[in-house]
Amino acid sequence: MTGRAIKKRILAALALLPIAFAQQRSFVACPIVRDTKTVPCFLAESEGQTYFLAIQQDIQADLYPPQLLHEVLVEGTVAPGPPVCGGIPLKPVKLSVLPELNLACNMILPAEPGIEAPPTRRPAGPSTKQAPVIPAGAPPAARPAPPQRSAGPFTRRDFQITYDFDSAFLFSRDTRVVSQAAAYATAAQAKTVEVTAHRAASLLSNGRVLTENEAIAAQRAERVVDILRGLGTNPASIQVHIVPEVVKPDGVTDPEKRLLTIRVTP
Amino acid sequence: MKHLWICASIVGVSATALTWAQQPSANWITAGSSGMLPAQMEFATPTGKVGVLLTGGPVEMKDHPFFTPLGSNRRACVTCHQPAYGMSFSAEAARELWRRTNGKDPLFAAIDGSNCPDQPQELESSHSLLLNRGLIRVYLPIPKNAEFSIEVVSDPPACNTSPTYGLKSANPMVSVYRRPRMAANLKYVTNPGPAIVLKLGALADKDPVTGRPVGMNFMADAREATLTTQARSASLGHIQAASVTDEQLRRIVDFESQVYVAEISDRNGGNLAEPGGPASLGPKAMADHKPGVLGDNDYDPVFMLFDAWKKPGHTPQDQFRASVARGADIFMFRQFWLRDATHINSIGLGNPLKRTCATCHNAQMTGQDLSAGWVDLGTTNYPRWTEPPLYSAAQELPVFKVTCKPSASPHPYLGRVIYTTDPGRALISGRCVDVGSIVMQQFRGLAARAPYFSNGSAKNLRELVDYYDRRFEMRLSETEKQDLINFLGVL
């Protein structure tokens, strides 16, 4: 590639940056629940716009809905396409339930004609054997892989968990990662299992910066180490690194920085 | 095999020394009784009969550690786990026992059968929580790792403020008052869980003998890991034994592990366990079915299908059975906003959650939660508690103010200052988020063992259904409420 071509590509990429940033939304708001004839939708308002955040699913879902009585930190990208459940869709989106109570966050809107939740695999009642309601051409449901015995050869491997803002809670999806790391460490007879936990900050669209509490990285590490030990990881191999420094937030990649890494070295 | 269900009153007269069975009020087995406990028994309940099945065959009570006093207060396991009352006991039975024994039965032992040991034990008022609500005192220290402090706000039973037994005594204890759970159907209740508890994102407790994870689902606060550790703790605590041998513990656990209890007939519904009827009913169904089955689905539901009772009919029995079947459908399919319930809404499902009773009560045959089942439904925590206003003269339970440390994760729906009559699981875990969380109970043999909820606040199934109706704004019609009551009553 010639120097001119490279320059042209860089300029093109730079030209796209403001557009990408313009599509980024980071804000704190009360969630709003919109009932529908199927499952409820979760919405939020920011700067005069209503955004669609999530629908009710179940514990196996990739995205968990927010909670009334709590504000939610929304970090997402405006997705093309028509409104969903009366709101502008964000995809990808990261939702963090902020831990402190906010009793003002308590709005449930009734179902209205013309406002429908996206198709969901799990109805509002009990689960069903009926064919799941999914759009034509949609990929099959992502099911957690069955536990597999790790086989060699073993190499250095990282297992990563990203957290909700100011949270050390390990959801079902997260404990699966810790279990996989523990299984791999045992199978590989790991020399070291390094747990590196971070705290982070989030740059909101209005310029405000939210910073996680100082103890959160240590709490994240403590919970993961507890599970690793309980699942049989050699305690002598476990090393813990707490990273208290907060990387300057950019309003785009901030959710990725609320990170814990389990590095297994055979 | 022909199952001959023997009415205990007949057995008592005919073959054995079971004088306790000669009249309904005398179905109480006193610790130290002798005689053969039949393998199949039926006992009258307010709405029919409860069936008790011992899958290992008849049991001689004489010298059996479940029935024999092991400690200084003349109690045995059977004192609180009576076959006639679904292997628990009812408050009405406790009142009858008080009348019959003038309060001398060991059930009323000062240690925990009274509001507080330092109260005059001859007075009924000193046993008011046991007599009115069927409650036993449970006294626990504040955990060393507690994320909170506890103050006593109100103390009608006067134990938490007692200079000898209270929070400021030389041996500080928190006294809470809970219903004894039924010692039956235990293969379901002790079904092992996964290594990691879904609701906590943390490890489950382990069986100290095998090292395997346990289900954490058989005590109100899940404080004991296994039936053996529970039997040891109860022997040394409730029974005030100086010691208990491994052999005694083994026999206790062996006995209670083969006891199955369910309602077996209903005065309106007839024989509940007849062939062709709902497959979940009766104690034999409890014995035969396998544990660990998730029933939150429409093809193999929590209490299976009641289609056989949906057929049209005009007899009172047909109509009652149709009502039960409607109640089963309400339980499985009637949607409502399930909200502000810690360890349900807070584990990723969202708040609120538009679901049904079966979402939480999802374990087939028992209606517990397959996951470690402690949840803050709200029964113990202000403002949704089951109790009258704090300063009402009708207030019976102690009220605590729990203040969580700033570093703790707050209770998801009550924050950092919580008023509660029972901190529940938090007294074991030390966690602020667990304040008020109580392990779900199984739904079987309910007719035999009122009142309900861990704090005995629902005197009958109507009060229980009314609480849920209020709590979750279900807006049940009178017919729906009665259908649910009829359904719960036949389990």
pLDDT tens column, B20-71: 443 445 699 999 999 999 999 999 999 999 999 999 999 999 999 999 999 9
Number of Cβ within 10 Å of residue B3's Cβ equals 13
The amino acid at A62? D
Give pLDDT tens digits for B96-112. Answer: 999 999 999 999 999 99
- Interface check for B413 against chain A (CB to CB < 8 A): the answer is yes
Radius of gyration (C-alpha) of chain A in whole angstroms: 21
Please report the pLDDT score of residue B180 as a whole number: 98
Please report the pLDDT score of residue B11 as a whole number: 37
Among residues B380, B355, B378, B359, the alpha carbon closest in space to that of B370 is found at B359
Size of interface A-B (CB pairs under 8 A): 107
- Please determine, for residue B116, whether its predicted confidence score (pLDDT) is greater than 60: yes
Scanning every residue of chain A, which has its alpha carbon at the shortest distance from the alpha carbon of B351? A67
Q: How far is B266 from chain A (nearest CA, A)?
A: 28
- Please determine, for residue B1, whether its predicted confidence score (pLDDT) is greater than 50: no
E-strand ranges in A68-191 read 72-78, 88-97, 107-109, 157-162
Average pLDDT of A73-100?
96
Cβ contacts of B453 within 8 Å, gap of 6 or more: B179, B379, B386, B464, B467
Cβ atoms of residues B304 and B373 within 8 Å: no
- Interface check for A33 against chain B (CB to CB < 8 A): the answer is yes
- Interface check for B333 against chain A (CB to CB < 8 A): the answer is yes
Please report the pLDDT score of residue A131 as a whole number: 44
- Interface check for A141 against chain B (CB to CB < 8 A): the answer is no
Q: Find the CB nearest A56 among B299, B353, B414.
A: B353
- Residue ranges covered by each domain of chain B: 292-364+450-456+464-489
Using the 3D structure, point to which of A74, A90, A109 is the last residue of a domain: A109
Cβ contacts of A54 within 8 Å, gap of 6 or more: A41, A42, A63, A64, A65, A66, A93, A95, B350
Please report the pLDDT score of residue A138 as a whole number: 46
Q: Find the CB nearest B410 among A59, A67, A101.
A: A101
Please report the pLDDT score of residue B3 as a whole number: 39
Q: How far is B32 from chain A (nearest CA, A)?
A: 43
Please report the pLDDT score of residue B390 as a whole number: 82
The complex's ipTM works out to 0.91
Question: What percent of chain B has a predicted confidence (pLDDT) above 70?
Answer: 95
Q: How far is B473 from chain A (nearest CA, A)?
A: 13
Return d(Cα B362, Cα A155) in angstroms, integer: 42
The answer to whether B335 contacts A33, with C-beta atoms less than 8 Å apart, is: no
- Interface check for A99 against chain B (CB to CB < 8 A): the answer is yes
Q: Find the CB nearest B352 among A64, A108, A172.
A: A108
Return d(Cα A30, Cα A127) in angstroms, integer: 29
A48 beta partners: none
Alpha-carbon distances, residue A229 vs A156, A197, A224 (angstroms)? 19, 17, 9
A7 domain-assigned:
no
Scanning every residue of chain A, which has its alpha carbon at the shortest distance from the alpha carbon of B348? A64
**What's the DSSP call for residue A62?**
S
- Please determine, for residue B114, whether its predicted confidence score (pLDDT) is greater than 90: yes
Please report the pLDDT score of residue A129 as a whole number: 78
Using the 3D structure, point to which of A109, A128, A149 is the last residue of a domain: A109
Q: Is B91 exposed, middle or buried (0-12, 13-18, 19+ CB in 10 A)?
A: buried
- Interface check for A223 against chain B (CB to CB < 8 A): the answer is yes
A124 domain-assigned:
no
Give pLDDT tens digits for B266-301. Answer: 999 999 999 999 999 999 999 999 999 999 999 999
- Please determine, for residue A7, whether its predicted confidence score (pLDDT) is greater than 90: no
Question: What percent of chain B has a predicted confidence (pLDDT) above 90?
Answer: 91
Q: Is A248 exposed, middle or buried (0-12, 13-18, 19+ CB in 10 A)?
A: exposed
**Rounded-to-10 torsion of CA A31, A33, A34, A37:** 150
E-strand ranges in chain A read 24-29, 31-34, 41-46, 49-55, 72-78, 88-97, 107-109, 157-162, 192-198, 201-203, 209-211, 238-243, 259-265
Model confidence band, residue A133 (pLDDT cutoffs 50, 70, 90): very low
- Interface check for B102 against chain A (CB to CB < 8 A): the answer is no
- Please determine, for residue A204, whether its predicted confidence score (pLDDT) is greater than 50: yes
The answer to whether B348 contacts A64, with C-beta atoms less than 8 Å apart, is: yes
Please report the pLDDT score of residue B393 as a whole number: 87
What CATH number is attached to the domain comprising A212?
3.30.1330.60
Chain A residues touching B203 at Cβ < 8 A: 226-227, 230-231
Radius of gyration (C-alpha) of chain B in whole angstroms: 22
Cβ atoms of residues A243 and A199 within 8 Å: yes
Return d(Cα B256, Cα B81) in angstroms, integer: 10
> Between B222 and A132, where is the model more confident?
B222
The answer to whether B299 contacts A129, with C-beta atoms less than 8 Å apart, is: yes
Q: How far is B211 from chain A (nearest CA, A)?
A: 10
- Distance from CA of residue B80 to its chain's centroid? 12
- Interface check for A56 against chain B (CB to CB < 8 A): the answer is yes
Chain A residues touching B350 at Cβ < 8 A: 42, 54, 56, 64-67
A170 domain-assigned:
yes
- Please determine, for residue B263, whether its predicted confidence score (pLDDT) is greater than 90: yes
Using the 3D structure, point to which of A71, A87, A109 is the last residue of a domain: A109
Return d(Cα A120, Cα A127) in angstroms, integer: 11
Please report the pLDDT score of residue A145 as a whole number: 54
Return d(Cα A210, Cα B405) in angstroms, integer: 22
A143 beta partners: none
The answer to whether B348 contacts A226, with C-beta atoms less than 8 Å apart, is: no
Q: How many domains does one find in chain A?
A: 2
- Interface check for A163 against chain B (CB to CB < 8 A): the answer is no
**Rounded-to-10 torsion of CA B353, B356, B357, B362:** -90
Return d(Cα B166, Cα B173) in angstroms, integer: 6
Category of A48 on φ-ψ map: left (φ > 0), alpha (ψ -120 to 50) or beta: left
Q: Find the CB nearest B358 among A64, A108, A126.
A: A126
- Distance from CA of residue B354 to its chain's centroid? 27
Cβ atoms of residues B422 and B436 within 8 Å: yes
Please report the pLDDT score of residue A41 as a whole number: 98
Q: How far is B357 from chain A (nearest CA, A)?
A: 9
Category of B116 on φ-ψ map: left (φ > 0), alpha (ψ -120 to 50) or beta: beta
Cβ atoms of residues B387 and B135 within 8 Å: no
Average pLDDT of A102-115?
97
Return d(Cα A145, Cα A96) in angstroms, integer: 26
Scanning every residue of chain B, which has its alpha carbon at the shortest distance from the alpha carbon of A124? B355
- Please determine, for residue B2, whether its predicted confidence score (pLDDT) is greater than 60: no
Average pLDDT of B254-272?
98
Chain A residues touching B353 at Cβ < 8 A: 56
Boundaries of domain holding A212? 157-265
Chain A residues touching B345 at Cβ < 8 A: 67
SS3 A65: coil
Phi and psi at residue B333, to the nearest 5°: -120, -15
A116 domain-assigned:
no
Give pLDDT tens digits for B333-371. Answer: 999 999 999 999 999 999 999 999 999 999 999 999 999
- Interface check for B356 against chain A (CB to CB < 8 A): the answer is yes
Q: Find the CB nearest B356 among A126, A169, A223.
A: A126
Q: Are residues A99 and A165 in the same domain?
A: no
Cβ contacts of B298 within 8 Å, gap of 6 or more: A125, A126, A127, A128, A129, B332, B333
Model confidence band, residue A150 (pLDDT cutoffs 50, 70, 90): low
Q: Find the CB nearest A231 among B195, B347, B414.
A: B195
Number of Cβ within 10 Å of residue A30's Cβ equals 18
Return d(Cα B337, Cα B473) in angstroms, integer: 8
- Interface check for A186 against chain B (CB to CB < 8 A): the answer is no
3-state secondary structure B465-476: HHHHHHHCCCCC
Phi and psi at residue B153, to the nearest 5°: -95, -40
- Please determine, for residue B397, whether its predicted confidence score (pLDDT) is greater than 50: yes
Q: Find the CB nearest A124 among B195, B298, B335.
A: B335
Average pLDDT of B375-399?
93
Q: Find the CB nearest B415 among A40, A56, A101.
A: A101
* Interface probe with B: pick from A36, A63, A68, A229, most Cβ of B within 10 Å: A68
Phi and psi at residue A90, to the nearest 5°: -120, 125
SS3 A33: strand
Alpha-carbon distances, residue B375 vs A160, B176, B342, B358 (angstroms)? 30, 17, 6, 14
Q: How far is A11 from chain B (nearest CA, A)?
A: 42
Q: Find the CB nearest B203 among A56, A125, A230.
A: A230
Chain B residues touching A42 at Cβ < 8 A: 350
